[in-house]
């Protein structure tokens, strides 16, 4: 299990207790500094107070678990409007919305498809594009993200 996965397991009960959803957890090097970042969300979005509450609840648990033996920065963040959809809950939440599917390799001469998200069933994600349902196996999908029109 990776450091990010362990941190996510530690954070999950606190995040859920606060009525939020744990979207992702990452541990990586950014500009010479190690960063442990937890992404949270909920219907209607999250604010600074939500991020602060999660940080205050999770940070002492991370410190006591002593997962990371080097200096790092801990952050709690909103995933952003155009973030990649990762969890089954994401696909449920955003069904009916415009998405872009990026593939690892071309299918029918294209690597990107845009359309309305129908949903995800097991390992298959389905969108409606140009009036036709188009299915993609998740092993072929690099990323699915919402299309935000301003």
pTM: 0.72
Expressed as residue numbers, the domain containing 61 is 3-77
Query: Residues 70, 8: one domain?
Result: yes
Write the CA distances from 123 to 1, 44, 50, 80, 141, integer angstroms: 22, 27, 32, 25, 10
pLDDT number for residue 86: 82
CATH of the domain at 96: 2.30.30.100
CB atoms within 10 A of CB 4: 17
| H helix or E strand, kind and range, residue 89 | helix 88-93
Give the C-alpha separation, 41 to 110, whole Å. 32
pLDDT, averaged per 10 consecutive residues of the chain (150 residues), comes to: 94 96 92 93 89 96 91 91 83 91 93 95 93 94 87
Query: Residues 36, 62: one domain?
Result: yes
pLDDT number for residue 88: 86
Tell whether 82 is covered by a domain. no
What backbone torsions phi and psi does residue 96 show, to the nearest 5 degrees?
90, -10
Q: How many domains does the chain have?
A: 2
Query: Residues 73, 93: one domain?
Result: no
Query: Residues 51, 101: one domain?
Result: no
pLDDT number for residue 22: 92
Query: Residues 62, 98: one domain?
Result: no
The sign of the dihedral angle between the CA atoms of 85, 88, 89, 95 is positive
pLDDT number for residue 80: 80
Query: Residues 25, 51: one domain?
Result: yes
pLDDT number for residue 12: 96
pLDDT number for residue 44: 80
């Amino acid at each position: 299990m990776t450091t990010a996965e362990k941190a996510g397991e530690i954070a999950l009960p606190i995040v859920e207790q606060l009525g939020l959803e744990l979207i992702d957890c990452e541990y990586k090097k950014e500009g010479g500094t190690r960063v442990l970042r937890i992404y949270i969300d909920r219907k209607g979005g999250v604010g600074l107070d939500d991020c602060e509450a999660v940080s205050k609840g999770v940070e002492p648990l991370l410190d006591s678990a002593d997962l990371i033996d080097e200096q790092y920065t801990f952050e709690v963040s909103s995933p952003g409007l155009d973030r990649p959809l990762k969890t089954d809950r994401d696909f449920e939440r955003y069904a009916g919305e415009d998405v872009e599917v990026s593939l690892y390799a071309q299918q029918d001469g294209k690597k990107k498809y845009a359309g309305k998200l129908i949903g995800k069933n097991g390992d298959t994600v389905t969108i409606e594009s140009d009036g036709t349902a188009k299915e993609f196996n998740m092993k072929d999908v690099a990323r699915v993200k919402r299309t935000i029109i301003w």
